[in-house]
Structure 1
Amino acid sequence: MDSQHIAIIGYGTAGQAAALSLSRDGHRVEVFERAPELGPVGAGFLLQPTGLQVLWELGLLRQVMAHGRRVDRLYGETPCGRAVMDMRYAGLDARLFGVGMQRGALFSLLADAWAEHGEVHRGHAIDAISEDTRRIRDQQGRWHGPFDLVIAADGSASQLRGFTGAVEREAIYPWGALWQLVPQGGWAWGNELRQRYVAARKMIGLLPVGTRPGDDTPRLSFFWSLPVADFDAWRARGLPAWRDEVAHLWPEADARLDDTVDADQLARASYRDVTLRYWHRDRLVVLGDAAHGMSPQLGQGVNMALMDALALRDALRTQASVPAALHVYQRERQAHVGVYQFWSRWLTPIFQSDRDVIARARDLAFLPMGRLPGGRGHMLRVLSGTQHGFFGALSLKPDFLAALQG
């Protein structure tokens, strides 16, 4: 395909990865971002082998490993120390691991890699797309275009996916989380995601996320789950009372909060369950959370966004027209994403809800199920991002696996 004039709306992970990969293929890319200043949103995340493979293809694996923190194990327990979840990447393949990373670190790496390729129009909130899907309108009423391709990568709260005419489900999960980056200090589990559960009503988690450019302090991503409707009540209750509760449930976690003196240091996060019948119309296509938002239980949001961007690049490489490429892109990505949307929807109330009976069943059955031959392999493939449908698996590239070992 010849060089195309492409508009990307949103400069999060999906938009950044699409801008970089498409610009390198010779396309003329313009990015429109509603924020007046560019920067990441959120604390930390877990890169899975699938997301790492995308960053390897973009030539960024070395920088990712320099700033991120290798994670070999995911472990969850009750406050009395009873194991609920124990998953190790080596149980699937000894060469595999995850990488905990700060959003600021990945944002900087992708932005620096794209710096010479295109332009970001900051402070441009795009609110409409023309009927022929070639033009976009900003908040001032100005139209931009025409474009050969318009990519909506404006996140789980997307205002633009509706222009596909294909929104099937768009629901806000009743439970959200408070997030903060804290110094790693003497944290004992430097290569593990650790979680602690009180039924499904409370969940504390700490993930090692390494450093970011300009800050060499290794950090943890701390999160505390609670209902979205309780955010204001949590703040009104006061930080000292909450710190007392954290200390009672997990003293080691509370010790990491010594620098937390203001409730505003913890960011609020909410999540959406989003399903589209199809992800494109004419020359408009939707990427990342805008296309398939889900709860964070499976930790796949960033990884799916990276995979979307590379799949779109590859479809444009192999097809003779934009509409044909968008059809191929959707067919490939929906086949992979579907099982993650299913499990995310069903696992969320097991870990975030007021259903105590379900939580007790989880505490009894989750760990034994993960030790069964069939269940163990499926769980580990879902964790690593390599599950394809309910019975298939994605193959990682041998050269990438060799690079991981290096």
Structure 2
Amino acid sequence: MAIHDRHVAVVGGGIGGLAAALLLAASGARITLIERVPEPGEAGAGLLLQPNGLAVLDALSLAESLERQGHRLTGAVVRTATGRPIVNATLPHFGPGQDHALAVRRGTLYASLLHAVRADPAIDTRFGCQVSTARTDGTVEYRDRDDLTRTIEAELVVGADGTQSIVRAGGDFGAVARDTGTTYVRGIVDGDDLGLEGEYWTPLGLFGGAPIGGGTYFYAAAHAPAVAEALARRDLATFRRHWADALPPSAAVLDRVPGFDALLVNAVTRIDCARWADGRLVLLGDAAHAMAPTLGQGANSAIVDAAVLSIELAAGGPGALRRYEDRRRPRVRKVQDAADRLARLSAITSPAGRAVRDRGLHLLDRLRPLTAHQARIAQQEDPRLLRDALVRPLERT
């Protein structure tokens, strides 16, 4: 399939969907973007843009503005509850400007993508529209703002509609959804001088974050029984107390949470698909591969999906969707598995188990070639090559 002048429906206006709309439009496609939320505004706290995601955003001319509004990180430190380093990982240097990660407000990234989408004449946005059916022949049915049923025919339908994907339900993707039993809390508080940068592994699980655009982004495990019970009761004071007992530095952050509703609580579902394309339907992001957040690769992987999909479609040929799947699915599966392993390691509660874990990881951390190799696997694509592959067609538009 050659993408030039084809009609593509993108279902889902999150980060992955917006990136896909922009990149496919830049390759010459006519885009209909359908999103159920009437007034888009990405919910969420913060996220970590890694070199792979930043490379794509740089090709879209969005990275420079985001850099001014975020906080650079050149590595990640994991510490015990007492502050002793367990792992001190440095990001590999992929080229100029691709030697760091960027902690940003999720809303800042979303607003940048949305502004670019609205400015692109090749993208027809239909917000406040709920897709009810997507078929393998490219038919999409949805309810518009007036609650009327509408139908469009597209030559490709991109499912960027999350873990409960309607597009995925319309095809045969061999999807398996698994509740991981893990829950995380996220939020942003005022102040960027609270001493939180990196991650702590404690008897309650992980707690981490970073300064972020005038505030501090934090995230915390919430599946320990005492913490889970406090959250079920919407008891912020008890939630704070449990974390302050396990990790005293967390108090400076959690004391600034204004109320329970400022917390975002997310249970983690893992999605695995045997296939990412069926007929004229294709998946990206959480619709194809929802994962644990422990590697910080969820949003980045969706952005890279959009990039590789656009590259393979622009290359043309009957096997474009198969090339996209073959290129992406094995690499993302490795990241999903690694994120699960980290989630399990960070959730060890027994003192003896934590001691063995910490000693083992500290020894592995000394094997720099091994840790650098693992960091490159997490990026899934070489960021420099990915950016270059995108910039060439973008410069022609």
TM-score after normalising by structure 2: 0.87
Alignment of 1:1-400 (within 5 A): 1=2, 2-89=4-91, 96-117=99-120, 118-138=123-143, 142-188=149-195, 193-199=197-203, 201-210=204-213, 218-227=214-223, 231=228, 233-236=230-233, 238-321=235-318, 324-352=319-347, 358-383=353-378, 385-386=379-380, 394=382, 396-397=384-385
Post-superposition CA distance 1:43-74 (Å, at most 9, x none): 11111111111011111121121112101221
In 1, are the aligned partners of 2:92 and 2:375 still within 8 Å (CA)? no
Computed over aligned residues only, the root mean square deviation of the Cα atoms, in angstroms, reads 2.7
Deviation at 1:358, TM superposition (A): 4.7
Contact 1:185 1:256 in 2 (8 A): no
CA contact (8 A) 2:13 2:160 kept: yes
Secondary structure of the structure 2 residue equivalent to 1:135? strand
3-state DSSP of counterpart to 2:139:
coil
- SS of 1:174 mapped into structure 2: strand
Q: 1:261 to 1:235 in 2, by over 3 A?
A: farther
Work out whether residues 273 and 345 of structure 1, in 8 Å CA contact, stay in contact via their aligned partners in 2: no
1:288-330 deviations in Å (ceiling 9; x for gaps): 1111111011110111111111111111211145xx3211211
1:263 CA drift (Å): 1.1
SS in 2 for 1:203: strand
The corresponding residue for 1:213 is none
Unpaired runs of 5+ in structure 2?
Answer: 392-397
- By how many angstroms is 1:396 displaced? 2.3
Relative to structure 1, the CA distance from residue 329 to residue 136 in structure 2 (aligned partners, 3 Å threshold; closer, same or farther) is farther
Whether the 8 Å CA contact 1:158–1:290 is kept in 2: the answer is yes
CA separation in 2, counterparts of 1:154 and 1:57?
24
Aligned letter for 2:108? A
Percent identity of the aligned residues? 26
Query: Normalising by structure 1, what TM-score?
Result: 0.85
SS of residue matched to 2:324: helix
| Structure 1 unpaired stretches of 5+ | 211-217, 389-393
Question: Retained in 1: the 8 A contact 2:131–2:141?
Answer: yes
**Which residue identity is paired with 1:187?**
L
Cα distance in 2 for residues equivalent to 1:10 and 1:398 = 24
Measured in 1, the distance between the counterparts of 2:106 and 2:20 equals 17
- Checking the alignment, whether the CA contact within 8 Å between 2:194 and 2:252 is kept in structure 1 is no
What amino acid maps onto 1:151 in structure 2? Answer: V
Alignment size in residue pairs:
381
Residues in 1 aligned to 2:323 and 2:263: alpha-carbon distance in whole angstroms: 41
CA pair 310-365 structure 1, distance change in 2 beyond 3 A: same
Distance of 1:159 and 1:356 partners within structure 2 = 44
Matching residue's letter, 2:205? K
CA distance in 1 between partners of 2:268 and 2:176 (Å): 13
